[in-house]
């Protein structure tokens, strides 16, 4: 049995009652986090533009759009939700995926689930299978796929979204096989667009295209049955002949589920994952040692060679570019002593004190962490004008599965995001529904709250 046929069968055969409580809890946590950062995505130009675009284009009012107050087709809703989920660059980071597993799949699941009126358990099952497929593709194709410049979140995420949407629709194994085959030809996204509005569009396209692939498969639309493993299939095209290991895609499927082993990182800062180790280190130095910007002559960030492949905006000119700039994130941590949404504005990027601090940041490759594409281990050396230096090594940043946010920290992040859009009552009710997702017989009430369409007149 080939990889495409086998993985489709594994997805179709999975039953939620076989999942441990830890996996269900992790899925709910990640979905809550994704909804939160999606609400915050409407603060940015990319979120507002894509929502206006979808509203103007119209479409059957099948599903609501997060933070937007209108309904449109399920495909358009997935598009907007996906852009919103990635706009702040604040959603969870996958480990083996080397990307963001939750944003494309959650953005595909919620519109279809609302449209079809499915239960919270159906949503969780779909999420677990989309997550499983994404992370396992990461194991099978990385590091070469990422090294070549592909944006794994969108490329692999398109297949994850197709699998997740297929689960919501209750497709058979053969239909899932066709959905994956179609998704293979709809997947794209390169990292050259990091730090632009097109970066979150990658996730919107992944979610929308995954939904499209699943809906077409439901109607009998076909694709090559061996789209993953064939000579011109997904695995070879996104790596090279013989440079992938598809046994990692299917062997030991869901045993344990990837959502709990290795899990994913819930990000405390709205910036690219590889910046977090350095941010943790600099914030620790400024708060424990009392270091001020004028005290510092150099901050050396010694980490993986991937710094230059992911954090490509070394001289950002706009707030959105700062999210993928190690120089800016480190400088903001030094000057402002915090890294929040407030730092990633055009005004902050132009702040003379931060611009001066950016000139003090030096990036080098650490021999121990050079190939760490998973955790981005980093040693930071803060050198002072008086000759002293402070060293911090961060192998597992805050939010990593081995250094997780507490529930209070996660909910604080969610509330910070939700307060931009929801009333306090809506915010707290949405938390209640998300934390009890498996008990919901129909997720439409939740979708009505987070989209604002549940309000009177909405």
pLDDT tens, position by position, 123-153: 999 999 999 999 999 999 999 999 999 999 9
pLDDT one-digit tens code per residue, 320-335: 999 999 999 999 999 9
As a whole number of angstroms, the distance between CA 142 and CA 93 comes to: 15
As a whole number of angstroms, the distance between CA 46 and CA 252 comes to: 39
As a whole number of angstroms, the distance between CA 326 and CA 211 comes to: 34
> Average pLDDT, stretch 215-219?
99
As a whole number of angstroms, the distance between CA 393 and CA 372 comes to: 14
The pLDDT of residue 226: 99
As a whole number of angstroms, the distance between CA 324 and CA 271 comes to: 6
pLDDT one-digit tens code per residue, 47-102: 999 999 999 999 999 999 999 999 999 999 999 999 999 999 999 998 789 999 99
As a whole number of angstroms, the distance between CA 228 and CA 214 comes to: 16
> Average pLDDT, stretch 11-37?
98
The pLDDT of residue 368: 83
At 376, is the pLDDT very low, low, confident or very high (cuts 50, 70, 90)? Answer: confident
The pLDDT of residue 372: 65
> Average pLDDT, stretch 29-34?
99
The pLDDT of residue 391: 98
Q: Which residue has the tokens 């595909």?
A: 108
pLDDT one-digit tens code per residue, 238-287: 999 999 999 999 999 999 999 999 999 999 999 999 999 999 999 999 99
> Average pLDDT, stretch 431-451?
98
The pLDDT of residue 96: 87
As a whole number of angstroms, the distance between CA 126 and CA 25 comes to: 14
As a whole number of angstroms, the distance between CA 241 and CA 160 comes to: 23
pLDDT one-digit tens code per residue, 294-315: 999 999 999 887 777 788 899 9
Interacting residues of 423 by C-beta distance below 8 A, sequence separation 6+: none
pTM, entire model? 0.97
Q: Measure Cα distances from 48 to 44, 196, 370 in Å.
A: 6, 14, 38
The pLDDT of residue 164: 99
Tokens for 129, please give them.
């299978």
Kindly write down the DSSP assignment for every residue of 343-403, as one continuous string: GSSHHHHT-HHHHHHHTTEEEEE-TTTTT-TTT--EEEEEEETTS-EEEEEESS-TTSTTS
Interacting residues of 31 by C-beta distance below 8 A, sequence separation 6+: 102, 106, 123, 124, 127, 434, 437
Q: Is the separation of the CB atoms in 160 and 134 below 8 Å? A: yes
CA neighbor of 344 nearest in space, from 275, 418, 265, 414: 275
At 458, is the pLDDT very low, low, confident or very high (cuts 50, 70, 90)? Answer: low
Tokens for 225, please give them.
């049955």
The pLDDT of residue 457: 62
> Average pLDDT, stretch 416-431?
98
The per-residue pLDDT of the chain, averaged, comes to 96
Is the pLDDT at 20 greater than 90? The verdict is yes
Which CATH architecture describes the domain 273-394?
Answer: 2-Layer Sandwich (3.30)
CA neighbor of 181 nearest in space, from 212, 223, 125, 118: 223
Q: Is the separation of the CB atoms in 207 and 107 below 8 Å? A: yes
As a whole number of angstroms, the distance between CA 164 and CA 24 comes to: 15
Ranked by mean pLDDT, which of 303-307, 377-381, 419-423 comes out on top? 419-423
The pLDDT of residue 254: 97
Q: Measure Cα distances from 63 to 70, 117, 323 in Å.
A: 9, 10, 30
340-359 burial by CB neighbour count: b if 16+ within 10 A, else e?
A: ebebbeeebbebeebeebbe
Is the pLDDT at 44 greater than 80? The verdict is yes
The 3-state DSSP composition of the chain as helix, strand, coil percent (nearest 5) reads 55, 10, 35
The pLDDT of residue 370: 62
Q: For the chain, give every domain's residue range.
A: 3-265, 273-394
> How large is the greatest C-alpha to C-alpha distance in the chain, in angstroms?
71
The pLDDT of residue 366: 82
The pLDDT of residue 69: 97
> Average pLDDT, stretch 340-364?
97
As a whole number of angstroms, the distance between CA 423 and CA 411 comes to: 15
The pLDDT of residue 156: 99
DSSP letter at 405 equals P
Q: Is the separation of the CB atoms in 320 and 44 below 8 Å? A: yes
Tokens for 365, please give them.
């490759």
Q: Please state whether the peptide bond connecting residue 256 to the residue before it is cis, i.e. omega within 30 degrees of 0.
A: yes
Report the sign of the C-alpha dihedral through residues 269, 82, 249, 125, in that order.
positive
- Would you call 178 helix, strand, or coil by DSSP? helix
> Is CATH 1.10.4100.10 correct for 3-265?
yes
């Amino acid at each position: 049995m080939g990889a495409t046929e086998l993985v489709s069968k594994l997805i179709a055969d999975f039953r939620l009652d076989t999942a441990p409580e830890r996996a269900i809890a992790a899925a709910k946590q990640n979905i809550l986090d994704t909804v939160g950062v999606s609400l915050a995505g409407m603060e940015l130009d990319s979120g507002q533009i894509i929502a206006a675009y979808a509203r103007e284009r119209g479409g059957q009012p099948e599903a609501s759009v997060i933070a937007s107050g209108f309904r449109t087709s399920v495909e358009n809703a997935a598009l907007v939700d996906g852009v919103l989920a990635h706009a702040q660059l604040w959603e969870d980071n996958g480990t083996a995926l080397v990307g963001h597993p939750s944003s494309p799949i959650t953005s595909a699941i919620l519109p279809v689930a609302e449209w079809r009126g499915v239960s919270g358990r159906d949503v969780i099952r779909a999420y677990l299978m989309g997550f499983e497929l994404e992370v396992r593709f990461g194991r099978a194709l990385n590091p070469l796929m990422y090294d070549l410049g592909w944006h794994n979140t969108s490329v692999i995420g398109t297949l994850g979204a197709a699998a997740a949407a297929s689960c919501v629709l209750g497709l058979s194994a053969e239909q899932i096989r066709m959905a994956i085959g179609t998704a293979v030809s709809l997947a794209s996204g390169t990292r050259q667009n990091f730090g632009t509005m097109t970066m979150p569009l990658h996730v919107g396209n992944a979610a929308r295209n995954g939904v499209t692939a699943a809906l077409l498969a439901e109607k009998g639309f076909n694709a090559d049955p061996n789209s993953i493993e064939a000579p011109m299939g997904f695995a070879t095209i996104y790596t090279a002949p013989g440079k992938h290991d598809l046994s990692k895609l299917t062997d030991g499927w869901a045993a344990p589920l990837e959502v709990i082993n290795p899990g994913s990182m819930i990000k405390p800062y709205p910036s690219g994952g590889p910046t977090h180790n350095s941010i943790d280190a600099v914030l620790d130095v400024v708060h424990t040692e009392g270091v001020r910007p004028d005290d510092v002559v150099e901050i050396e960030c010694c980490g993986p060679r991937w710094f230059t492949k992911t954090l490509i905006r070394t001289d950002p000119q706009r707030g959105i570019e700062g999210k993928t700039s190690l120089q800016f994130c480190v400088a903001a941590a030094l000057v402002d002593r915090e890294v929040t949404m407030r730092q990633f504005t055009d005004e902050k990027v132009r702040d003379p004190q931060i611009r001066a601090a950016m000139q003090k940041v030096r990036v080098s490759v650490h021999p121990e962490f050079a190939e760490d594409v998973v955790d981005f281990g980093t040693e930071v050396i803060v050198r002072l004008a008086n000759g002293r230096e402070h060293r911090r090594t961060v192998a597992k940043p805050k939010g990593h599965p081995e250094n997780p946010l507490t529930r209070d920290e996660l909910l604080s992040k969610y509330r910070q995001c939700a307060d931009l859009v929801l009333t306090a009552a809506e915010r707290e009710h949405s938390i209640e529904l998300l934390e009890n997702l498996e008990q919901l017989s129909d997720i439409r009430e939740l979708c009505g709250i987070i989209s604002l369409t549940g309000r009177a007149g909405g």
